[in-house]
Amino acid sequence: MGPAIAVIALALAATGLLWLRRRLLVVTVDGPSMEPTYHQGDRVVVRRRHAAQLRLGDVVVIERPDDDGTWPAHSLPQRWLVKRVAALPGGKVPADLAPALAEQAGVDVPPGSLVLLGDNAANSYDSRYIGYFPADRLLGVVRRRMSPTAA
């Protein structure tokens, strides 16, 4: 292979890697809220998505609100939560979301909002406490676990 072809191949490979980095990210699971599906320290591959591309049951990564429940300005470092989609905009709020959305049970989820739950209901900071998550804080959908849980 000549030097010009090698340079072109290298440029194409670099472009492909840049494209993948914009579409795929790796996030580390922090906490037990998604057990038994994901565990503390699991690394997951996340594909960037918009809320309009979500389906019920998708596991998503979304920005975490501050401890006082307010949503921070988009600044670094961002803190992420891994949760499962329980209701999408226009869908019905599930009936078992006390206390934060208890009065909203059966009501349509407002535009730009998501209802997200952890698989470990006893230990999950999710829509049961936060209420609606703003869809514009969504990072993407978990595609797969990158590394197994350490034993």
- The conformational region for residue 90 under phi > 0 = left, psi -120 to 50 = alpha, else beta, is left
State which H helix or E strand residue 92 sits in: none
Torsion of CA 18, 22, 28, 30, to 10 degrees: 160
Q: Which two tokens stand for residue 140?
A: 């993407």
Q: Which two tokens stand for residue 124?
A: 């999950």
Neighbours of 130 (CB within 10 A): 18
From the candidates 83, 113, 124, 127, give the one annotated as an active-site residue. 83
Torsion of CA 13, 138, 45, 33, to 10 degrees: 170
Reduced to 3 states (helix: H, G, I; strand: E, B; else coil), residue 89 is coil
Q: Is 33 considered catalytic here?
A: yes
Q: Is 83 considered catalytic here?
A: yes
**Residues catalogued as catalytic:** 33, 83
